[in-house]
Structure 1
């Protein structure tokens, strides 16, 4: 070890407190980088395992290959596993409604295929022989053909041909043929009879563009298939592109992108950009905070050693030797701090994962646990990033030390260079602050460069804390709105299901276990012709100028409710049932002025402004088509406006239409729906709603009932309770990681502030000793230092709070553009209060610590010290 390194070690030992605090900062930095990287790897591994469970662990599928190709691939060294099924052939789907999917495709599964390719049964069981078959649910939902468990299928199975070309599942249906070639034809080869033993979800390996619905049977060992579908799992998934290009030849193949994207080898460029961008931003934030803290530590170290460097330079030390001396200090600190930081980071993220693992199961894959995954390459990269952070932090002040002239270093005249005007204070300030405050203010002004780092450290911690708190607040608000706004647990939404099919289905579904309340409804779009004079002044204040004789066509919704649910509303409002039931009954409506229908409890309705002047009026209404009323189909109705909250509607499939600055909904019993149905009526949505004690179990039973019923109309079954539960779990996960991030960044900032303030006080030990030597009492001395604390805190808050508020606003605008989702911007008063208290407390405590050290020193010894 050379003399410069020995001197460096002696200096580190002499300034033990500063060295320890710097090492703590490095530990925090390395822990955060390691924790973020380890969690990222653990999350991606979780996603890979979940996608493997759902879609299968294969990486590439080769379609329509012969047995020799299969045998060659099985012998490949880079193969971890293979699975195949027989391409038995195609049969025409009789009565199919999808013109692009006119076939049934029969696949013969081997035992390996059943084990490797996930099959999600909705009802029934797996086939046990080549005479039994599974039918996918989308044959009914997408193809419009009902096939139930127990049915017998007699199929003329054959091959799709286009001239001499044999077509497979990867080839689109071509009713017109390719240019210059004959039209596609189906050439039957054998008659096969199957017994349907189960209904299952569309398999993941079937492309949405495939021309045949995949039916699965058990492969017959006695049959020799002409072609196969081969599923390959590679030992090194990152080489999947090279593998397919080298071995695939002209064979058609598809990738399992659902699994590969989480391995970082998918063609999904958007996911890659999102993954690396988010990770890069988080690491960049950590590095900026860490570089800032560690840079300050080394800069302060150089201030302490400036005189020493001047002497070394005077006896022949080169700039390179001085620079290496500082970098050696960085390496020593890194050698101690980084290994500890890596261990702390892994341990911390293990604790965090144990807290949130259950919530991840509820959000994503229920049978896949989120576990800690420690990757050696990732740990090496995290350690390297931490070391680079330290070396960058040390190199900047090292260059400054090496370039400082010798005499300036010995005299130490380079740190504080100010003119008298720069530290001049006004007489008003002197009167307000007194002598002690004036001295503190002058010291603050003449050491701007040194104290700027303290202020910036505090500003960084304030901005990060308030911004992250605002993010969590917005997420909680979104979750609370979602919970309050939905009044049912399960919903089935459809547009084209006939009542003759929907109502019998409703009678079955409401008997599902756990269901204790149920209803059905429909929503139609209508237009209401209202006189301008009937509308309230508040309406016209929002809508603009008008003529009193104008007729305004207002879009409105007619909500047809289950008769019993409608009657309960009438009774709850205290209205006479005989006036609001029957063919010529009056209708009730809610018509309020608001930009967003925030009301979700009855007592909140009064907070909104009425659209109409009177509480009961007669109107002419007509069905609305493409935003235009069909007045030739108009009806005259009597509407009573009430103060209640209409039952929640089902989510509208597709585009819900334009938004209006008012809420106008009429409630009508379902038995009167036919009265309002016309050739131009558009049913926006209809369906069923349920409340259940166990929504998950009820939904599973309902899915089976729907499949057994053979429903062919398009529908969506919503487990709203599960969606809200997922929202809660995601909020919890976001909270855990947001607050963990806040705490660790704040700890780095605290270490930075502590290191900077305490060392700066030590550098002023001779100056402070001089003040005490000329008669400044301990009380006045403490008062002066208290003023310095206040100046630090006020300056940090002056810059930090406005930046933090702006950052919180930008986060709100980014998350909820235009105030969508009924989310209001919440001014972060609470986090601001915590920040103000924390900043002043941290500065005050740090100053007390440093001053206690100074007070213990002998004044004469401090005045003699020429190493400051």
Structure 2
């Protein structure tokens, strides 16, 4: 170790307080970086484990493959494990007390299938031969069929078929039991008869549809007895999950004539394997932006510590100059100080970050499990990648933080260092102020402004800390708000928790029972959607529509053919919806008036992004011509004109939203009849509930329920809860950064004022009153705040725009500034600076003028 480095270490030891403050600052910064990386990796790991627990672990599914194709899949270098499965079909469940579930649905898995899929054994054992099955507990508990382990059952297996002309081929499990005029409108077409021995019972599998007509039973698929041409489904677990898996799987399928390939997108996205290139670009761009914000925040914290260190070592570095130290040696002295502090701080910071997250996760695990509806626990997940990223970013941060002070140190001459004159600018040009400052604000303001110019470096350090705080707060606020906006665009208009098919008249009592449930908060009953057309003038069409290739080719007499979706909702729901969007309910009931949805959100598959745009450019009071296609005369027939009673972007419960070239129109049932349509008896009941899972369970417990019922809450809940959790952590992060920045500001201002004791004493000795002193300090606070906002707000807008552009890879909507957050920031900046100045100046007010004038300049 050379003499300069030895002197640097001795200086660190002698100035223990400053060294400790610097080390703590770096530890906090590294801990913060580690915590952010750990949060991301740990949450991805939680969601990954939860998805595997719910749906099983698999990545690619090849459907309907023969033995030769299975062999090719197994031989593929990317394949780790292959699960074979097959849907055998339906069989009548004799003795079932549940009329809405008269069937059994038989599935087969090979040995790997029982390991990879969430099949939870309740009693007995799993099947080991093709003539053995396990049955769902629901068969005993719900269907009340007295099956026991060891029973041999004979099943006639086949397919569900119906004479309904709208349904072609066999009916799959997504259809509930088909009922028409109170009678079952389907039958079982038997294709085989088999005997099975019951060897165990399982809990109802997560993939079983609650409103489906069948209970699940699972048998064993023996690969050895499969014939050459028998088809099975091959579910693949890959050796390594990477983005290229999509192209690789498609190529493998094409090479081996496999017709259908599917992917477990729910699981793959938590590995970072996203098929949509725009979404992947969005993800990486946002990560890069957030990492840059973290680095900038960390640099702002650590830089001050090293800048103060160099300022305090000016005399020390000057003495080194006087005995022959070169510029490079002085510069390396500061870099070596950064190296020593990093060597101590980075390991402690990483351990502190991990320990902090461990304690945090321990306290919030119960909250997260309740909020997100997950069964898995959040664990501190440490990966080599996340640790290396934290270390590398910390090293870069320390290097950037020491670079400027190191360059300053290399330029220090012996005379300047001993005089300590580098920080003070006394040239006329350096401290020149505008004459208007004194005229408008007084001499106190001019003195305050001159002081800021004279102590430029300390002034800049304070402003820099403020600017970083402004940028961090506004960037995180904008990011979280836009994350919620992006989520709403990608949710396909699912503004309800539960949807259920009901029949008018026959199910009125059932509907009343459901609506009287304590958990139900909102409901809407909608007739089926009716489709008509309208010719819309070119200048009134959607802006997005006009950009489509071939738009002009479809114009007829300057008008474009729009598809009109007519939605009719019951009177009570319409009344509530009209009030919500500001429409006159009485107008909607009288005459041909309608609410038009003029704002749409849709996915542009070609561009690979979600878009928000105008569906039509029209005004309240204008009319829209409606046409229907007359099949008999094979031409369009004019129906009537409807008047726009209100325009809104808010969809009623159950309406899915349109796309460019379509328009959603909400009418009353009476208006629908005036247009020549008759609302059918089959309707959809949409519900919002305080506890959707409990509501669904209650509905299923009502014996007479034989209807299609679907709970969309579960599919939407995860994304919404992720936004909530991310908001908590991002705002927690910004509070931490802001708190440290405030401490930095307070420290910088306190140090600055302490160093100005002689100046204040001199001003007092010349007759400055306490009132004038306070006035000067107040003006300094205002100058600090204005300067910080002048730089901070534009830079924040740039950061927000970059975040917006990153999201624009997958989502399209207009850029809007978070004005409320900006107002909060403006108020907070002046509050922080004002409080810091008052606190610091209060400490020097009681100083004796003589003692202060005697103080030696540092």
* Cα distance change, pair 289–741 in 1 and its aligned pair in 2 (3 A): same
Equivalence map 1:808-823=2 (5 Å): 818=813
Question: How big is each residue's C-alpha offset from its partner over 1:446-504, in whole Å with a ceiling of 9 and x where there is no partner?
Answer: 33344223212212212332443455567789999999x999653358xxxxxxx9669
Aligned to 1:43: 43
Question: How big is each residue's C-alpha offset from its partner over 1:677-714, in whole Å with a ceiling of 9 and x where there is no partner?
Answer: 7xxx9x9x9633356675324446879999996x9xxx
SS at the partner of 1:676? coil
Q: CA deviation at 1:59?
A: 5.6
C-alpha distance in 1 between matches for 2:390 and 2:222: 54
Aligned to 1:688: 685
Aligned to 1:285: 293
- 1:732 corresponds to 2:724: yes
- 1:848 corresponds to 2:853: no
- 1:835 corresponds to 2:828: yes
* Cα distance change, pair 525–624 in 1 and its aligned pair in 2 (3 A): farther
Aligned to 1:113: 113
One of 134, 157, 170 as aligned partner of 1:145: 170
Larger mean CA deviation between 252-261 and 378-387 belongs to 252-261
Question: How big is each residue's C-alpha offset from its partner over 1:839-858, in whole Å with a ceiling of 9 and x where there is no partner?
Answer: 32454256338747987994
Larger mean CA deviation between 759-768 and 460-469 belongs to 759-768
One of 450, 454, 461 as aligned partner of 1:453: 461
* Cα distance change, pair 85–515 in 1 and its aligned pair in 2 (3 A): farther
Question: How big is each residue's C-alpha offset from its partner over 1:120-149, in whole Å with a ceiling of 9 and x where there is no partner?
Answer: 989869999897699999999996423689
1:525–1:555 Cα contact (<8 Å) kept: yes
Aligned to 1:313: 321
1:591–1:610 Cα contact (<8 Å) kept: no
Equivalence map 1:294-443=2 (5 Å): 294-350=302-358, 353=361, 357=365, 361=369, 366-375=374-383, 378-417=386-425, 419-443=427-451
Q: CA deviation at 1:596?
A: 5.9
Larger mean CA deviation between 691-700 and 315-324 belongs to 691-700
Aligned to 1:185: none
* Cα distance change, pair 745–439 in 1 and its aligned pair in 2 (3 A): same
- 1:524 corresponds to 2:530: yes
C-alpha distance in 2 between matches for 1:34 and 1:612: 59
Q: CA deviation at 1:525?
A: 4.5
* Cα distance change, pair 357–508 in 1 and its aligned pair in 2 (3 A): farther
Q: CA deviation at 1:787?
A: 3.7
SS at the partner of 1:491? strand
Q: CA deviation at 1:611?
A: 1.4
Q: CA deviation at 1:49?
A: 0.8
Structure 1 unaligned segments of length 5 or more: list them.
Answer: 92-104, 157-190, 205-213, 494-500, 531-550, 571-578, 598-607, 614-618
Aligned to 2:581: none
Q: CA deviation at 1:289?
A: 1.8
SS at the partner of 1:840? helix
Equivalence map 1:489-504=2 (5 Å): 489-492=497-500
1:61–1:254 Cα contact (<8 Å) kept: yes
2:567–2:655 Cα contact (<8 Å) kept: no
Larger mean CA deviation between 23-32 and 426-435 belongs to 426-435
Q: CA deviation at 1:638?
A: 11
C-alpha distance in 2 between matches for 1:630 and 1:566: 35
- 1:792 corresponds to 2:789: no
* Cα distance change, pair 286–328 in 1 and its aligned pair in 2 (3 A): same
SS at the partner of 1:316? coil
SS at the partner of 2:115? helix
C-alpha distance in 1 between matches for 2:240 and 2:651: 54
Aligned to 2:132: none
* Cα distance change, pair 474–846 in 1 and its aligned pair in 2 (3 A): farther
Equivalence map 1:116-135=2 (5 Å): 116-118=116-118
SS at the partner of 2:46? helix
Question: How big is each residue's C-alpha offset from its partner over 1:570-609, in whole Å with a ceiling of 9 and x where there is no partner?
Answer: 9xxxxxxxx99xxxx9855545799669xxxxxxxxxx99
Question: How big is each residue's C-alpha offset from its partner over 1:748-788, in whole Å with a ceiling of 9 and x where there is no partner?
Answer: 42243234334444555665666567776777666544443
C-alpha distance in 2 between matches for 1:257 and 1:805: 35
Equivalence map 1:326-725=2 (5 Å): 326-350=334-358, 353=361, 357=365, 361=369, 366-375=374-383, 378-417=386-425, 419-469=427-477, 489-492=497-500, 510=511, 519-525=525-531, 558-561=566-569, 587-591=590-594, 611=621, 622-623=627-628, 633-634=637-638, 648=652, 650-652=654-656, 655-656=658-659, 658=661, 665-669=666-670, 672=673, 675-676=676-677, 687-690=684-687, 694-699=691-696, 719=711
2:503–2:683 Cα contact (<8 Å) kept: no
SS at the partner of 1:423? coil
Aligned to 1:23: 23
Aligned to 1:219: 221
C-alpha distance in 1 between matches for 2:640 and 2:243: 71
SS at the partner of 1:341? helix
1:133–1:216 Cα contact (<8 Å) kept: no
SS at the partner of 1:648? coil
Q: CA deviation at 1:401?
A: 1.6
Q: CA deviation at 1:37?
A: 0.6
Aligned to 1:547: none
* Cα distance change, pair 636–802 in 1 and its aligned pair in 2 (3 A): closer
* Cα distance change, pair 643–319 in 1 and its aligned pair in 2 (3 A): closer
Question: How big is each residue's C-alpha offset from its partner over 1:171-210, in whole Å with a ceiling of 9 and x where there is no partner?
Answer: xxxxxxxxxxxxxxxxxxxx97999999988899xxxxxx
Larger mean CA deviation between 757-766 and 275-284 belongs to 757-766
SS at the partner of 2:313? helix
C-alpha distance in 1 between matches for 2:752 and 2:313: 13
C-alpha distance in 1 between matches for 2:59 and 2:326: 59
C-alpha distance in 1 between matches for 2:830 and 2:597: 39
2:335–2:399 Cα contact (<8 Å) kept: yes
C-alpha distance in 1 between matches for 2:24 and 2:478: 28
SS at the partner of 1:623? strand
1:594–1:609 Cα contact (<8 Å) kept: no
C-alpha distance in 1 between matches for 2:70 and 2:653: 58
- 1:745 corresponds to 2:737: yes
* Cα distance change, pair 300–40 in 1 and its aligned pair in 2 (3 A): same
Q: Please, what TM-score do these two structures have when normalized by structure 2?
A: 0.65
1:37–1:382 Cα contact (<8 Å) kept: yes
* Cα distance change, pair 112–674 in 1 and its aligned pair in 2 (3 A): farther
Q: CA deviation at 1:403?
A: 3.8
SS at the partner of 1:688? strand
C-alpha distance in 2 between matches for 1:555 and 1:88: 39
Count of aligned residue pairs for this structure pair: 731
1:309–1:409 Cα contact (<8 Å) kept: yes
* Cα distance change, pair 593–518 in 1 and its aligned pair in 2 (3 A): closer
Q: Please, what TM-score do these two structures have when normalized by structure 1?
A: 0.64
* Cα distance change, pair 480–432 in 1 and its aligned pair in 2 (3 A): same
* Cα distance change, pair 88–378 in 1 and its aligned pair in 2 (3 A): closer
SS at the partner of 2:628? strand
SS at the partner of 2:430? helix
SS at the partner of 2:324? coil
C-alpha distance in 1 between matches for 2:346 and 2:743: 16
C-alpha distance in 2 between matches for 1:755 and 1:137: 77
C-alpha distance in 1 between matches for 2:846 and 2:317: 26
2:38–2:381 Cα contact (<8 Å) kept: yes
SS at the partner of 2:381? coil
